[in-house]
Amino acid sequence: MNEFIEARVGLRWGEQKPSYDVVIIGGGGHGLATAYYLATRHGITNVAVVERGYIGSGNSGRNTTVIRANYGIPASVRFYQHSLDLYRTLEAETDRWIMHKEKGILWMHHTEMGIRTERARAHMNQAFGAQTTFVTPEEIKQIVPEVDLEGGGRYPVLGGSYHSSGATARHDRVVWAYAEGAMARGVDVLQRTTATGIRVEGGRVTGVETDQGYISTRTVLSATAGHTTTITDMVGLRMPIRTHPLQAMVTNHYRQTFGPIVASAELAFYVSQTPRGEMLMGAEWDRQPSYSYRSTSEFLRSCAAKAITILPFLSDLKILRQWTGVCDLSPDSSPIMGMTPVEGFLVSTGWGTWGFKAIPAGGEQMAELIATGRTPDLIAPFRLDRFARDRLLADAGSAGTQ
């Protein structure tokens, strides 16, 4: 973050103190939102957020900024719909412009099987409070005239769903809004501070070692993404998390307004227009587990091919930039939130390729859990012990990235 922005946003950096009530590892959206809600909703301000780079330098600054709630299982729809509602009021609550724009998301299918699934999902979404309707190819053409219904001859558009409350927001502004709100209430956000160890005595967390010195605390939240297992290894906790890269790219600006977010389920492709007019797009996560931020030409080639299959006009645009994030993927493609067998050590992870939309609700619910010591009903299904209890939340089809 440059000095100009820092001065305007009004961030006040703290000095590391020897002791805090709560230490949050990871200064991304989820970590900062948790700190914000701890301060605003529960009056807990003796909190440190430890970030090894700068705030929002991980996946919070590398995603494609889609906010939606059209998930495939009730627990997820409830949770993401709540997050979507919190996003709607975030500008009013924080008094900061996050460039939130509701534009709807069109989710297309190219196979009969996909249509069946999508119809069921639209009904299920409505039953649990998300605005999703099934749409025919003719209706799709009305929503987005640029779509090639023939799909280049190979991926004909057979139907899909329209999720009218789909939205986008400016990712770094979301991070700054939460950081500023937390800092104003006394939270210390410590940049360029790497957590190097977690001290556990008698099965209970007693402190965090950082490269800037030791912090004594009884509550630690791991809110890191790709490096989740680096943190959980420090307390000897086994995690169902594997780190895979996810890539994205933007084109130069498209002169017309492109309305909704468009996604293709079978192609694993999604695109939206940024406020600057660029077309922002992404595809599936990379097959190889890796912590590497390296971008590849394979991604450019395959993503561009998918893009022009359903939106031929994109072939006239040029690719401006590409980048990569490293994602914490869980086996059932649902997040993992809550307490762990190590007393005082909590996790908010498994956000994989779907974490940005969940920042407000994830932060709010984790803050409530930390403040009250009880797991809120909304996130109870996402507990870590669901794997051992055989209560999986399989929802890979709703991620759109595989």
Partner 1 sequence: MKIECPHCGLRSVEEFRYGEIPRVPESITDPDARDIDRIFMKQNPLGMTVEAWFHDFGCRRWFRLERDTHG
Interface with partner 1, residue 343, by CB under 8 A = no
How is residue 108 written in tokens? 């297309």
Q: Hey, which residues between 36 and 95 contact partner 1 (CB under 8 A)?
A: none
Verify binding: residue 323, partner 1, rule CB under 8 A. no
Q: Rule CB under 8 A: say whether 239 interacts with partner 1.
A: yes
Of positions 131, 252, 290, 322, contacts partner 1 by CB under 8 A: 290
Nearer to partner 1, 239 or 310 (CB): 239
Name the minimum Å distance from CB 302 to partner 1: 7
119 token code pair:
């119809």
Q: Is 229 in the site for partner 1 (CB under 8 A)?
A: yes
Which residue, 77 or 195, has its beta carbon nearer to partner 1?
Answer: 195
Q: Which of these segments, 23-31, 123-131, 296-304, 314-322, binds partner 1 (CB under 8 A)? A: 296-304
Q: Residue 93 or residue 266: which is nearer to partner 1 going by CB? A: 266
Distances in whole angstroms, Cα of residue 386 to Cα of each of 338, 360, 375: 11, 23, 14
| Farthest-apart Cα atoms in the chain, separation | 64
Return the range that interacts with partner 1 (CB under 8 A); candidates 57-65, 132-140, 284-292, 342-350. Answer: 284-292
318 touches partner 1 (CB under 8 A): no
From 8, 145, 201, 288, residue interacting with partner 1 (rule: CB under 8 A):
288
**302 is a site residue for partner 1 (CB under 8 A):** yes
For residue 132, the Cα-to-chain-centroid distance in whole angstroms is: 20
Q: Would you give the binding string for partner 1 spanning residues 199-218, x where CB under 8 A is met? A: --------------------
Q: How far apart are CA 175 and CA 55, in angstroms?
A: 7
Q: Which is nearer to partner 1, 164 or 302 (CB)?
A: 302
Cβ 387 to partner 1, closest distance in Å? 4
Smallest separation, CB 290 to partner 1 (Å) = 5
Q: Which H or E element spans position 249?
A: strand 242-253
Question: Rounded distance, CA 360 to CA 358, Å?
Answer: 6
By CB under 8 A, residue 194 contacts partner 1: no
Minimal distance in Å, beta carbon 87 to partner 1? Answer: 30
Q: State the alpha helices, DSSP H only, in 128-167.
A: 137-143
Strands 261-264 and 105-109: parallel
Work out how close the CB of 231 gets to partner 1 at its nearest, in angstroms, rounded to a whole number: 11
Residues 6+ positions from 104 with CB-CB distance below 8 Å: 143, 162, 163, 164, 165, 166, 259, 260, 261
Q: Per residue in 255-264, is it b (16+ CB within 10 Å) or e — as a string? A: eeebebbbbb
Interaction between residue 23 and partner 1 (CB under 8 A) = no
Determine, following the binding rule CB under 8 A, whether residue 197 of this chain makes contact with partner 1.
no
298 in contact with partner 1 (CB under 8 A)? yes
- Residue 140 and residue 160: Cα distance in Å, rounded? 8
Residue 292 touches partner 1, criterion: CB under 8 A: yes
Does 289 bind partner 1 (CB under 8 A)? Our answer is yes
* Cα Rg of the chain (Å, integer): 21
Label residue 1 exposed, middle or buried (CB < 10 Å: 0-12, 13-18, 19+): middle
**Distance between CA atoms of residues 371 and 165, nearest Å:** 31
Dihedral of alpha carbons 121, 126, 130, 136, sign: positive
Least separation in angstroms between CB 291 and partner 1: 6
Contact residues toward partner 1 (CB under 8 A) are: 227, 229-230, 238-243, 286-292, 294, 296, 298, 302, 331, 387-388
